[in-house]
Amino acid sequence: MILDVAETAPSDPRFAALPGRPGKIIAVHLSYASRADQRGRRPAQPSYFLKPSSSVAGTGGTVERPAGTELLAFEGEIALVTGRDARRVDAASAWDHVGWVTAANDLGLYDLRAVDKGSNVRSKGGDGFTPLGPALLDARAVDPAALRVRTWLCGRLVQDDTTAGLLFPLAQIVADLSQHLTLETGDVILTGTPAGSSVARPGDVVEIEVDAPTAPGAPSTGRLVTTVTQGEVPFDSALGSLPAADDVQRAEAWGSREAAGLPAVAPTLTPALREKLERVPVAGLSSRLRKRGLNTVTVDGVRPLRPGTKLVGTARTLRLVPGREDLFTSHGGGYNAQKRAFDAVGEGEVLVVEAGRDPDAGTLGDVLALRAHARGAAGVVTDGAVRDADAVAAVGIPVFSNGAHPAVLGRKHVPWEADVTVACGGTTVQPGDVVVGDSDGVVVVPPALVEEVVDAALAQEDEDGWIAARVAEGHPVRGLFPMNAEWRARYEAWRAAR
């Protein structure tokens, strides 16, 4: 049934759909399998953040996208309202402490996500960033495993999932929170959003509904309606950090690079092409690129942490800028560009780090190497140093660096941006370039040339191997290396007879 709260609701219209102003609002980071898979990571346990009660809004209102920002994202969610205090309750009895269920929009401003350093205070706590309502469903009348949440953006259905798709059941979330703090009557828990969350622009209308379609009467909260407006007052740089967006944040806010209108990060290397690149030496690729007029394609000064390592993949990039204390304060902490890049690197990709060829501070350590390895990355190339060098080498992922150094990132660098064109070891690397490394170093191959170049390099390897065999037989190199007409004819005859 739907609870009539008209007699108990506070006079403030923001809280009209609730039994009172909530003492706290707790939100789950990732809880739906569809959303976790979209992000490329499934958490083993739930994790949380707080939102202020001043962010609550009712239905039919507006939310401002602040001046100077672009990434206001909506998240349709099921909200739980505590009906009676819960402290250290078990999962079997946790639902008994939930009084009501309603719809929520967990709005967030991705432009402020990095400067929040993981707290979500500014990115998620703005006025109007937590619309709730319009009606409460009695938790006793619904099955927590059979609730549905749907979201419409300008009339188009963009989110549609049920609690059957949760990684963590609602009762588990309540019980887990209760072992850390007291859930007081009226507190609100935002239980996470499924896939389909995206960006809303000024003029867009977001509608969210939670219902129990299999329960008697199919009770529904009705649609929670919010219209986005454009703010006019800019942030004051004299008071704090300014909003900033990069392509990593754009892809996260929109849901994918494609949805954000960004080019694909990298072409797919077919298994056959990858196998050829595994066989061809970097020296051979370098010489064939030189014949095509490309001389500045080697990442100079880098060597593999583990001798004999072969590296093949497509480039993702991270740019570190020279250290400056004020910029490290604003960009170095929390979920900074370095951490975002290691969280985003994908299977078969090589994270290429621009560090100004400075060997006097680490640009990654064992934790980030483990993260890249877990993501299926093909390797890491940095023209800076690596800290925890032995531990990084033991991870097993190919890492090419400018040496080892015990100092942390902030000593010489500020993590700045990801998925942009970078300068690494004296060469320009763009997202999607093909990166190949071995004991001779690392070479960057433009994607449009890779098939042509690798075939030519393998052919050259066959020729060089034949020449080396003749030299080993005692023939002088004059006329043989390079081959004159006589030796060329003998070589072609050998090839034809193979």
Give me the residue spans of the domains in the chain: 2-231+240-254, 271-451
Q: Is the separation of the CB atoms in 357 and 425 below 8 Å?
A: yes
Best CA proximity match to 75, nearest among 142, 161, 167: 161
pLDDT at 363: 95
Q: Give the CATH superfamily of 2-231+240-254.
A: Fumarylacetoacetase-like, C-terminal domain (3.90.850.10)
Query: Which pLDDT tens digit goes with each residue over 7-16?
Result: 444 578 899 9
Q: Is 402 helix (H, G, I), strand (E, B) or coil?
A: coil
Query: Which pLDDT tens digit goes with each residue over 179-192?
Result: 999 999 999 999 99
Q: Characterize the bridge pairing of strands 422-424 and 188-190.
A: unpaired
DSSP 153-180: ETTEEEEEEEGGGBSS-HHHHHHHHHTT
Count the neighbouring beta carbons within 10 Å of the beta carbon of residue 161.
22
Best CA proximity match to 337, nearest among 443, 426, 422: 422
Q: Is the separation of the CB atoms in 194 and 161 below 8 Å?
A: yes
Angle at 115 between CA 181 and CA 373, to 5 degrees: 80
pLDDT at 266: 52
- In degrees and rounded to multiples of 5, residue 485 shows phi and psi of -60, -40
Assigned CATH for 271-451 = 3.50.30.40
Q: Is 497 helix (H, G, I), strand (E, B) or coil?
A: helix
pLDDT at 10: 54
Residue 404 CA to residue 406 CA, distance in Å, equals 7
Residues of the chain with pLDDT under 50: 1-9
Residue 77 CA to residue 255 CA, distance in Å, equals 16
Residue 299 CA to residue 420 CA, distance in Å, equals 17
Residue 1 CA to residue 453 CA, distance in Å, equals 69
Task: Tell how far CA 168 is from the center of its chain.
Answer: 21
Containing 80, the helix (H) or strand (E) segment is: strand 76-82
Sign of the alpha-carbon dihedral angle for 364, 366, 369, 371: negative
Give the tokens for residue 24. 């706290």
Q: Is the separation of the CB atoms in 403 and 359 below 8 Å?
A: yes
Bond before 202 cis per omega within 30 degrees: no
Length of the chain: 498
Q: Do domains 2-231+240-254 and 271-451 have the same CATH topology?
A: no
Angle at 448 between CA 445 and CA 449, to 5 degrees: 55
Best CA proximity match to 436, nearest among 458, 414, 465, 406: 458
List residues bridging with 224 in a β-sheet.
208
Give the tokens for residue 208. 């969210």
Q: Characterize the bridge pairing of strands 399-401 and 303-304.
A: antiparallel
Owner of token pair 């569809």:
34
Half-sphere exposure of 61 (CA within 13 A, CB side): 21
Residue 265 CA to residue 134 CA, distance in Å, equals 41
Q: What SS3 string covers 4-68?
A: CCCCCCCCCHHHCCCCCCCCCEEEECCCEHHHHHHHCCCCCCCCEEEECHHHEECCCEEEEECCC
Q: Is 485 helix (H, G, I), strand (E, B) or coil?
A: helix
